[in-house]
Amino acid sequence: MNTNEVLITREGLDKIKVELEYLKVEKRLDIAEKIKTAREFGDISENSEYDEAKNEQAEIEARIIKLENIVKFAKIIEENSKNKDIIAVGSKVTVLDVEYNEEETYSIVGTTEADPYEKKISNISPVGSALIGKKVGEVIEVQVPTGTLNYKVLKII
């Protein structure tokens, strides 16, 4: 694997491309207008509006560079539709939290699009990496900052 490679789903890459286009077209114009307006206030050495606009411009440009690199080095991970026997990046998996007897369904994704609120966990997170390579019926023990979790793999979707 290329060390610059960014594992990402097609959906995640599409979202990044939309954000990148927005930042490059609309947001850049918006910031340029803010800078122009702030310059009209006069002396830029003590102009907080100008400083704020320039700082926002720097943040936007940094985000654009980051997104361009993600797009450049993206390696699409397809949903694991071919193999439902073994968990891999791109798999959706339902597990049982053995301690609390609660089911959770997670998508295993690359770090770029991991979002715990959407139940998308990174392939290098403690739970994600412990699930990779497992089969239905297997139980995993995962060390997390709050202690140890035990999950039983119920199904690979």
Least confident of 74-83, 126-135, 139-148: 74-83
pLDDT single digits (tens) 104-125: 999 999 999 999 999 999 999 9
Contact assessment for residue 77 and residue 9, using Cβ atoms and an 8 Å cutoff:
yes
Tell me the average pLDDT across 21-40. Answer: 93
For the chain, domain boundaries: 6-76, 92-156
For 59-125, strand residue ranges (E) read 74-76, 92-97, 102-109, 120-122
Place of tokens 């089911």: 103
Please enumerate in sequence order all residues whose Cβ is within 8 A of that of 145, keeping only pairs 6 or more positions apart, or say none: none
The rounded distance, in Å, linking the Cα atoms of 157 and 88 is 11
Residue 33 in this model has a pLDDT that exceeds 90: yes
Residue 55 in this model has a pLDDT that exceeds 80: yes
pLDDT value at position 13?
94
pTM, to two decimals? 0.74
Question: Would you list the DSSP string of 4-68?
Answer: T-EEE-HHHHHHHHHHHHHIIIIIHHHHHHHHHHHHTTS-GGG-HHHHHHHHHHHHHHHHHHHHH
Nearest to 112 by CA among 143, 80, 69: 69
Residue 27 in this model has a pLDDT that exceeds 70: yes
Is pLDDT larger for residue 83 or for residue 27? 27
Instruction: Determine the topology of domain 6-76 in CATH.
Output: Helix Hairpins (1.10.287)
**Using 50, 70 and 90 to split pLDDT, how confident is the model at 93?**
very high
Both tokens of 63, joined, read 């985000």
Tell me the average pLDDT across 83-106. Answer: 93
Task: Assign domain 92-156 to a CATH class.
Answer: alpha beta
Please enumerate in sequence order all residues whose Cβ is within 8 A of that of 60, keeping only pairs 6 or more positions apart, or say none: 23, 27, 28, 31
